Structure 1
Amino acid sequence: MKKSKKVKTTKTKTPSRVEQKKSVVLSALRSLGEQLYSQLSKKQWPSVRMPSRSITNIHYDQHTRQYILGERFVRRSARNIRHIRPLTQLVWTGSFVDELAREGKTSTLRDVFYSAQAYEMSFTDQAESDDIITDLETVLEHPREDFNVFPEERSAIFGDLTIQYTVRGYEGRKLNLASHPDGMMIGPALTNAEFAECKADKIIAIEKGGLFTRFIEERVHDKYKALLIHTAGQAPRATRALIRRMSQELGLPVYIFCDADPWGMHIANVIIAGSANAAHLRELNTPDAKWAGVYASDIVDYKLPSDPLTDLDIKRLYELQKDPRYDTKLWKREIEAFLRLKRKSEQEAFSRYGLAFIVDKYLPARLKELG
């Protein structure tokens, strides 16, 4: 019987993961503030230099197996009247997240948008606010989650992994992630927790909540010693970072199950290879994770109920063919199969053979195939 993996506990004097992140982020914010203060004290126009996030500066890097930013930079300067507004918004946002970090509080993207109004800081809409937060990520070289700003959406996790909280007020408390039958929400406290003990030997990420619940009911976590993650569609960045961290720190292989359509393929590939929108960030992808279905070829092999591909689906498949992230044998084969079949299917389609079929037949066969 395989022994559980016990993670060596850190000494009391060693800063926790949260404290380490806080220190690094506050240092980056301080450097930004000192830079602006120095410019003003020298009677210079305050400005901020950052990597360009334009499409022409985004490249796929074969070494890291993700999109990264190139060598082009842009500068926002108060000397340019068109830059005054976004530069002011950037400085205010930096001040806001500095306060969050110092007080150990969290905020949603929506909270940031509304909080700005209390300071008479004008954002036209949340899209503008979100874009400024992305600029701040680019300047600081840290994801917004590191300075305690999270999106509304949440995913969930279930399995035999015991975590130890590091957030204020809960330091040292332990929780087994199989303790709640609906799974545990992946929020700020969980993503910053330490891994105390793990009895799983793999991670299975699942696009849909229905199948996530089915896997819990059918005890996939016991039968296959798996940590189950509900991505809730496109996995939030905090979830993608957690998957990567568990894979690396616990040495667990990752398998991703999504619907059999181009959008499901993309959900899987973003976990594996990241997204162009996050090209300014690192450590959000898990390059060795494996797409485990549902494949286009599964529609034929398992005679699954299916629907015709829409024109938008077909257009998307042709786009994926040109995307360097899909330049491998499996991706190419299945894209061609979709275009040939012109059909798509869902994870739930396996239920035509009974609710347990996907767990008892399909899952073990696919895991064996992928190794």
Structure 2
Amino acid sequence: MRGRFVLSGARIKRTTSNVKHLRVFTQTVWMAYMAKRLIEEGKSTTLRDLYYMAESYGVKFKDQQESDSIIADVEALLGVSREQLRIFPEERATIYGDLTIRYNVHGYERTILNLTASPDGVAIGPALAAADFQDCGAEKVIMVESGGMFTRLIEEKAHEKFKAVLIHTAGQAPRLARHFAYRLKRELGLPVYIFTDGDPWGAHIAMVIISGSANAAHVDSLVIPDAKWIGILPTDIEDYRLPFEKFNEKDWKRLHDLMADPRYQSPFWRNQLKKFEEEGKKSEQQALSIYGLSYVTEKYLPEKLI
């Protein structure tokens, strides 16, 4: 599949016969042991929990990043995602829309929930991410970067107007949010649209949903190749006459990083990044409110979701 990260054919060998491998070998075996225990006991834990738990077993990690990298090694070694091993990050995304799910975790097997139950949305935690789909009145998924826009869309009843499941990614989409959107696409056939701020950071949020990340190149269930970035595009800033700010130093660096990234070499992405480079302008989702709070659902999204 073009345009996404995949593992190469390269392999490494760790053995107790090499003293240089002993530390990382011990870390890997311990992490696999903990994953086995979690599955056998029907429990779950977080990345942060595992980092601290290791000390009580005499297993040392220099920092959280090293612990997380060992978990990624175990994923690749076993060919399963960390979520299947019942290991989750702290962050939570939220979801809202006409989708009815049935929990399948112990003690909640008979619990059925429609995801319009809370006006704030429902957290996409481990139990929800693994729930069975019972009924769906939605025809598409809209993944939204900012909390303010997510709330705006709920208040404007975008889920009804566009027959959409809304997912708040809270910036870069957590793996559970990406996996849930992947399931909606694969199991229910819902197309996925991505709505972010109009800047290089928003572009990358979209690209990670579409093509995956380097750290999770071995997990196929986090990639939605035909998801579509609908805005805010750099061309929208001019087309919709949106308020904007000029790029700062970090924005320029991020843009140049993206321009060197092989995933951004299709005509569509080259054109978007070139427009950013030419104009040096960025605009937030909330900039659409210059035309009124309902403008996003009355004008902008109807033109984008054609």
Aligned pair partner of 1:194 in 113, 132, 143:
132
CA distance in 2, matches of 1:67, 1:298: 29
Aligned pairs (5 A) from 1:70-149: 70-149=8-87
- Asked whether the equivalents of residues 195 and 229 of structure 2 are also in contact (C-alpha less than 8 Å), the reply is yes
Aligned residue number for residue 231 of structure 2:
293
Aligned residue number for residue 283 of structure 2:
345
CA distance in 2, matches of 1:185, 1:175: 12
Give the counterpart letter for 2:241 in structure 1: K
Residues 175-229 of structure 1: per-residue CA shift (max 9 Å, x gap): 0001110000000000110000000000000001110011001000011110000
Alpha-carbon distance, 1:324 to partner? 2.6
Aligned pairs (5 A) from 1:151-230: 151-230=89-168
RMSD: 1.1
CA distance in 2, matches of 1:358, 1:316: 27
- Asked whether the equivalents of residues 179 and 221 of structure 2 are also in contact (C-alpha less than 8 Å), the reply is yes
Residues 112-166 of structure 1: per-residue CA shift (max 9 Å, x gap): 0111122222222222211111111111111111100001111010000000111
Q: Give the secondary-structure state (helix, strand or coil) at the position aligned to 1:147.
A: coil
Alpha-carbon distance, 1:310 to partner? 1.7
* Structure with bigger gyration radius: 1
Aligned pairs (5 A) from 1:249-264: 249-264=187-202
CA distance in 1, matches of 2:257, 2:83: 30
Alpha-carbon distance, 1:313 to partner? 1.7
CA distance in 1, matches of 2:89, 2:140: 27
CA distance in 2, matches of 1:97, 1:176: 31
CA distance in 2, matches of 1:251, 1:136: 31
Aligned residue number for residue 308 of structure 1:
246
Give the counterpart letter for 1:186 in structure 2: I
- Asked whether the equivalents of residues 72 and 215 of structure 2 are also in contact (C-alpha less than 8 Å), the reply is no
Alpha-carbon distance, 1:300 to partner? 0.6
Aligned residue number for residue 7 of structure 2:
69
Alpha-carbon distance, 1:301 to partner? 1.0
Alpha-carbon distance, 1:329 to partner? 2.5
Residues 220-243 of structure 1: per-residue CA shift (max 9 Å, x gap): 001111000001111111211111
Give the counterpart letter for 1:232 in structure 2: A
CA distance in 2, matches of 1:111, 1:247: 32
Alignment TM-score, normalising by the size of structure 2: 0.97
Q: Give the secondary-structure state (helix, strand or coil) at the position aligned to 1:76.
A: coil
Alpha-carbon distance, 1:307 to partner? 0.7
- Name stretches of at least 5 consecutive residues in structure 2 with no aligned partner: none
Give the counterpart letter for 1:123 in structure 2: F
Aligned residue number for residue 219 of structure 2:
281
CA distance in 2, matches of 1:360, 1:305: 19
CA distance in 2, matches of 1:255, 1:262: 17
Q: Give the secondary-structure state (helix, strand or coil) at the position aligned to 1:146.
A: coil
Residues 245-278 of structure 1: per-residue CA shift (max 9 Å, x gap): 1011111111000010001000001101111221
Alpha-carbon distance, 1:315 to partner? 2.7
CA distance in 2, matches of 1:111, 1:316: 32
- Asked whether the equivalents of residues 101 and 112 of structure 2 are also in contact (C-alpha less than 8 Å), the reply is yes
CA distance in 2, matches of 1:283, 1:127: 23
Alpha-carbon distance, 1:89 to partner? 1.1
CA distance in 2, matches of 1:84, 1:314: 42
Give the counterpart letter for 2:224 in structure 1: T
Aligned residue number for residue 184 of structure 2:
246
- Asked whether the equivalents of residues 195 and 232 of structure 2 are also in contact (C-alpha less than 8 Å), the reply is yes
Give the counterpart letter for 2:204 in structure 1: H
CA distance in 2, matches of 1:249, 1:243: 10
CA distance in 1, matches of 2:83, 2:60: 23
Give the counterpart letter for 1:238 in structure 2: L
Q: Give the secondary-structure state (helix, strand or coil) at the position aligned to 2:106.
A: coil
Give the counterpart letter for 2:203 in structure 1: M
Amino-acid identity (%): 51
